[in-house]
Amino acid sequence: MNIEELRDYCLSKTGVTEGFPFGEETLVFKVGEKLFLLIGLEHGKWFNVKCDPELAIELRERHWEITPGFHMNKKHWNSVRLDGNLSFKQLQAQIDHSYELVLQSLPKKLQEEIKALASNTGQT
């Protein structure tokens, strides 16, 4: 997965916006105004995603490409290398998990609005 594929995949998810709230070197993806993925554009070799704390530990133990989130709360965020041995499907799974965690943390009304939009457009 390269940075363009990552961007396209993130933007294919319902309710996702992109922006540069931390400067022009860090591309941020949000759902419902909450971050679910950040990627540094300078190198583009890793991205940060939110993760369930227990799963985060398990993934870090299993894959050298997954480490505690760089410049993030290391209990809830992982950094994932794009240039390692993780498959496209494994990278998508990290993104999906982060998106779902953040979506579930949104107020119920906003969750329902995003889910309704998804069903109307056929998105995920």
**Domain edges within the chain:** 3-121
Question: Residue type for 71, please?
Answer: H
Tell me, what's the pLDDT at 124? 58
pTM confidence score: 0.90
Tracing tokens 């069903």 back to the chain, one arrives at: 119
End-to-end CA, the chain: 19
* CATH topology classification for 3-121: Aspartate Aminotransferase, domain 1 (3.90.1150)
At 84 the pLDDT is: 74
The CB density around residue 66, as the number of other CB atoms within 10 Å, is 23
pLDDT score recorded for residue 73:
84
Q: Which pLDDT score, from 0 to 100, does residue 122 have? A: 65
Cβ contact 48:38 at 8 Å:
yes
Mean pLDDT split into 10-residue runs, the chain, 124 residues:
93 95 94 94 89 95 92 91 89 96 93 84 63
Question: Residue 13 has what pLDDT?
Answer: 95
**How far is residue 109 from each of residues 25, 84, 96, 106, measured CA to CA in Å?**
33, 39, 21, 8
